[in-house]
């Protein structure tokens, strides 16, 4: 079974800072990895999907990288804003139809 | 927005009663999923479907059953609800070609 870990569980940064969120997984034979954000009491919003053959994906101020050999992915957020405050989750799939989630990193961006 | 709705959005029920949660999608995606989200556990897969009448178990399927008689609807049933099934339940679909997941708004279920 795939184990997914996200450290730290919580992070607080001042506005404007660049930051990195981490996701590690135990089985390097993955199909894809997806990053989500979740606002309190809401559903999950897809941010970025990295397929097994890719090393990184970018969307606006977000950049996600994937290193299968070390079992790690990072989500880089540039020039953080208070609106980025949310919980960030990563999910890993080994087959394309079963996904394993980390418990998330709760991000607070202080104005 | 992948056109996913869940009903009901909130429900309180008593231990031992049956409960059915509905997930509806408007875009005819083949794959649909039910997850539960609990503090300290993150999201865990309950069941998933890869087509009409085709379903399979996930990580935490005990006490749950599912049905999919139409492409657009995926039902999750708790045959006899227990307090340990108090949770937030999310439905998701995945886009067939790359399996990118999109989630519904969730259903908060409380079993008293």
Q: Which residues of A touch B59 (CB under 8 A)?
A: 1, 98, 100
Cβ density class B72-85: b for 16+ within 10 Å, e for less: bebbbebeebeeeb
A18 vs B: CB within 8 A: no
Gap from A49 CA to chain B (nearest CA, Å): 7
Cα radius of gyration rounded to whole Å, chain A: 13
Determine, for residues B99 and A104 on separate chains, whether the beta-carbon distance falls below 8 Å: no
Residue B45: CB partners within 8 Å, gap ≥ 6?
A98, A99, A100, B33, B34, B35, B58, B59, B60
CB within 8 Å: A99 and B102: no
Q: What is the pLDDT of residue A106?
A: 97
| Rounded-to-integer distance, Cα A108 and Cα A106, Å | 7
What pLDDT shows up at residue B42? Answer: 87
CA–CA separation, A25 vs A51, rounded Å? 15
Cα–Cα dist A26/B7, whole Å: 35
The pLDDT value recorded for residue B1 is: 57
The span from the CA of A5 to the CA of B74, in Å, is 29
Residues of chain B below pLDDT 70: 1-2
Q: What digits encode the pLDDT tens for the residues B84-108?
A: 999 999 999 998 778 899 999 999 9
Measured distance between the N- and C-terminal CA atoms of chain B, rounded to whole angstroms: 33
Query: What residues of B are in contact with residue A91 (Cβ under 8 Å)?
Result: 43, 101
């Amino acid at each position: 079974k795939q184990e997914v870990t996200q450290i730290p569980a919580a992070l607080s940064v001042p506005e404007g800072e660049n930051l990195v969120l981490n996701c590690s997984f135990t089985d390097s034979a993955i199909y894809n990895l997806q990053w989500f954000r979740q606002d309190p009491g809401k559903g999950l919003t897809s941010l970025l999907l990295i397929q097994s053959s890719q090393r990184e994906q970018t969307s606006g101020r977000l950049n996600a990288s994937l290193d299968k050999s070390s079992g790690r992915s990072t989500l880089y957020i540039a020039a953080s804003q208070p609106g980025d405050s949310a919980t960030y989750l990563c999910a890993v799939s080994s087959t394309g139809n079963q996904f394993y989630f980390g418990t998330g990193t709760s991000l607070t961006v202080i104005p | 927005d992948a056109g996913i709705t869940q009903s009901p959005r909130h429900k309180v029920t008593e231990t031992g009663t049956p409960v059915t949660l509905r997930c509806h999608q408007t875009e005819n995606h083949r794959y649909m999923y039910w997850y539960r989200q609990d503090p300290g556990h993150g999201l865990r897969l309950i069941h998933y479907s890869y087509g009409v009448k085709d379903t399979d178990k996930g990580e935490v399927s005990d006490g749950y059953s599912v049905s999919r008689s139409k492409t657009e609807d995926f039902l999750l049933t708790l045959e006899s609800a227990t307090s340990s099934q108090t949770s937030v339940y999310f439905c998701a679909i995945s886009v067939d070609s790359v399996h990118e997941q999109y989630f519904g708004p969730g259903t908060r279920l409380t079993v008293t």
